[in-house]
Chains A and B, each alone.
Chain A
Amino acid sequence: MYASNANAPSKSQGANTALLRLTVKNHPGVMLQICGLFARRIFNLEGIFCTAIDQGETSCIWLKVDETEKLEQVLKQLAKLEDVLAVEERSDAQGRFAELEAMLARID
């Protein structure tokens, strides 16, 4: 599943974006929990990639976040969600994430 924030023009991997990798409990409401947090706390979300791992028990969610100034708050608020098992900052993976974005863009 991939979503791009329609209100913000998508930037290529700039200095303003951070890449987060979440491990979450996999159930039908979990995307709502994550996206709802970003919406109500006015955190900007540039992209989401989510897929089930671990025989479907958990999901892995990659978030491209346009919030370097508020990043600490974003991390703390995400960590508070009961469905979030782990939060890692993975800006080291920006290059490969850009490749994924490009690949997804090629799918009609």
Chain B
Amino acid sequence: MPRLNGAQIIIRQLERQGIRIVSGIPGGANLPLYDALAASSTIRHVLARHEQGAGFIAQGMARSSGQTAVCFATSGPGATNILTALADAYLDSVPLLCITGQVSRSLLGTDAFQEVDTYGMSIPITKHNYLVRSAAELLTLIPKAFQLAGSGRPGPVLIDVPKDVQSEMVTFEHWPEPCPVTDQQTGGTLGVEAAADMMNQAARPILYLGGGVIHAGAADEARRLSEQGGIPTVMTLMGLGILPSDHPLSLGMLGMHASRATNLAMEECDLLIAAGVRFDDRATGRINAFCPHAKVIHVDIDASEIGKLRSADAAITADARHAFAALLPRVRQRRRQQWNDRIGILQKERPRFYPDDFAPGRPFQLIRMVAELAGPESLISTDVGKHQMWVAQAYPFSTPRQLLTSGGLGTMGFGLPAAIGASLAFPERPVVCFTGDGSLQMNIQELATAVEQQVPVKIVVLNNQSLGLVRQQQRLFYEQHYFASSYGIAIDFAAIARGFGMEAVDLRGGGVDEQAELLRQAMRQPGPCLINVPIDIEEEVSPMVPPGAANTTMLGAEYVRK
């Protein structure tokens, strides 16, 4: 009969669950856990420099692979630091297991050193959470936590383990079965007949696809559905990559920074087939004015999303793969020439790109150049801000899970640690992190982790020496009262990277050909490399739907409120 302490039970179960990498930082209250981890021959520990970094490294692994990833933090500040990464995972439905140390049971509730109510604080930002009260509980609790994180609508699960529970010895009969890797909760097919009828009768349908389609592994089915029905398709930020960006039926991203033709086409549609989406305000604009003439089919594995913001005329509570598989044999093969021609006209009148967008030194040109050098196998993480929207608009995404980006929470500081995690999960694939100077400074300490782990991430800093999207909103909506949105000092990011032991290049001051050559060399580096790219502070993200306005109100770069 095995006789182990709580910490050993946790580590052994992570091994049995197939976990090979854990990111984290040790501290007073999780030392028994780290002692047990040190004895593991199969789990590699990645030491982050800040717990938020550890959380986002785990997210990078989970988002790129679709498998639950694990991160550790100690009690108190360790736990509060990692909460942002959990909130981020919650809003984007990323499967994560976070194990935090806690003060011993006898000290709980006494304001002990490094005690905070981690359980209470994590309730609103986790799918579920536990405060463990005995080591024996861990036997059933760990497989259950994996099952919760990865099944149905995925999400983060937190387990808070008091230090004395980690050290408590338990004798037990046998190990519980690990949680199965495949999701058992796929939903039902109620509503499929009604939905198929609506699709067959619609003249101007649009498929509206989000992260749920990617979580369900339903990109192929989505593409077949789109092609079979001749249905133009829009994607949320979280859904980019479901259809390749050059697919004839792809209208790209919808919403606040969509191309004009996409939002206008949605205004005209008579049926919205929404799958794995939650009608987020950045996608829909003012919800009452969103697709005003459309009936709605809503597919989601989370029943509470259906009818939350927009009532559905047909609802399928299932994961997108099973729903699409049931719809495909019922949806008639159609070309919908008239509707697609109409969209063609909208796109011709209001092109997604203008030739001038790709002039040397401009964001789109730089992003496309990186894309060419990185190749179709690459994984792309972004931070949050202008660069994120430029990447969403212009990067040629071709596969699901290729883009790792903080959609729901919009966390600056996400990009670098997420790229490290993606590279740990896929060491053979090129990984590029597009970031801004504002975002990079929010988790810049993880440059050390990238060097220490020798993950070959390429960090492209689109440096406009400002909080660009904030500044843009001040320009558009606050009478150009620029305040606290630009930085007073120019930071030498290349020198900082070198200080961490990382290769770095700076494109500042170079001519067009010289910059292209430097970029080529940097992207070829075998290890991690930072590339600083100066960007004009006046480069804007265009068009922009003002927050709270209808998606048909799209302001161009020239608009300024007088």
Question: Which A residue sits closest to B130, measured CB to CB?
Answer: A29
Q: A73-B307, A76-B304, A77-B304 are in contact. Are A29 and B128 (CB under 8 A)?
A: no
Q: Are A73 and B302 within 8 A (Cβ)?
A: no
Q: Contact between B119 and A29 (Cβ–Cβ < 8 Å)?
A: yes
Q: Judge whether B307 and A29 touch: CB under 8 Å.
A: no
Residue pair B123, A73 in contact (C-beta under 8 Å) = no
Return chain A residues, CB-CB under 8 Å to B123: 29, 32-33, 36
Verify if B179 is at the interface (C-beta below 8 Å from A).
Answer: no
Chain B: CB-nearest residue to A29: B119
Known: A36-B123, A40-B124. A29 touches B131 (CB 8 A): yes
CA distance A33 to B130 in the complex (A): 11
Tell me the minimal C-beta distance from B539 to chain A in angstroms.
38
Of the candidates A76, A77, A79, A82, the one whose C-beta lies within 8 Å of that of B128 is A82
Whether B307 pairs with A72 at a CB distance below 8 angstroms is yes
Interface check B303, CB cutoff 8 A: yes
A29 to B302, CA, bound (A): 24
Across-interface contacts of A79 in B (CB, < 8 A): 303-304
Q: Is B308 an interface residue (CB 8 A)?
A: yes
Q: Is B462 an interface residue (CB 8 A)?
A: no
In the complex, B148 has a CB within 8 A of chain A: yes
Smallest Cβ distance from B107 to chain A, in angstroms?
16
| Distance in Å: Cβ of B61 to nearest Cβ of chain A | 24
Contacts of A80 in B (CB 8 A): 302-304
A70 to chain B, nearest CB (A): 10
A34–B45 alpha-carbon span in the complex (Å): 36
Interface size class of A (residues with CB under 8 A): 10 to 19
Chain A proximity mask over B107-129: 1 for CB below 8 Å, otherwise 0 = 00000000000011001100110
Contacts of A76 in B (CB 8 A): 303-304
Are B131 and A36 interface neighbours, CB within 8 A? no
Most chain A CB within a 10 A radius of its CB, from B119, B123, B131, B307: B123
Assess whether A82 is in contact with B302, with CB atoms less than 8 Å apart: no
CA A28 – CA B108 in complex, angstroms? 13
The CA of A73 and the CA of B127, in the complex, are separated in Å by 17
Docked complex: A15-38 residues within 8 A CB-CB of B: 28-29, 32-33, 36
**Hey, which chain B residues are within 8 Å of A81, CB to CB?**
128
Interchain nearest-CB distance for A39 vs B (Å): 9
B119 partner residues in chain A, CB cutoff 8 A: 29
Which chain A residues in 53-76 approach chain B with CB under 8 Å? 72-73, 76
Task: Give complex CA distance A36, B119 in Å.
Answer: 12
A86, chain B: closest CB distance, angstroms: 15
Whether B120 lies near A73 (C-beta < 8 A) is: no
Contacts of A77 in B (CB 8 A): 304
The CA-CA distance from A82 to B148 in the complex, in Å, is 9
Spell out B's residues near A (CB within 8 Å).
119-120, 123-124, 127-128, 131, 148, 302-304, 307-308
Besides the contacts A29-B131, A77-B304, A81-B128, what 9 more A-B pairs have beta carbons closer than 8 Å? Answer: A28-B131, A36-B124, A72-B307, A73-B304, A73-B307, A76-B304, A80-B302, A82-B127, A83-B128
7 pairs of A and B residues whose beta carbons are closest in the complex:
A76-B304, A82-B128, A36-B123, A40-B124, A77-B304, A76-B303, A80-B304
Interface CB pairs A-B, < 8 A, 9: A29-B119, A29-B131, A36-B124, A73-B304, A73-B308, A76-B303, A80-B304, A82-B128, A82-B148
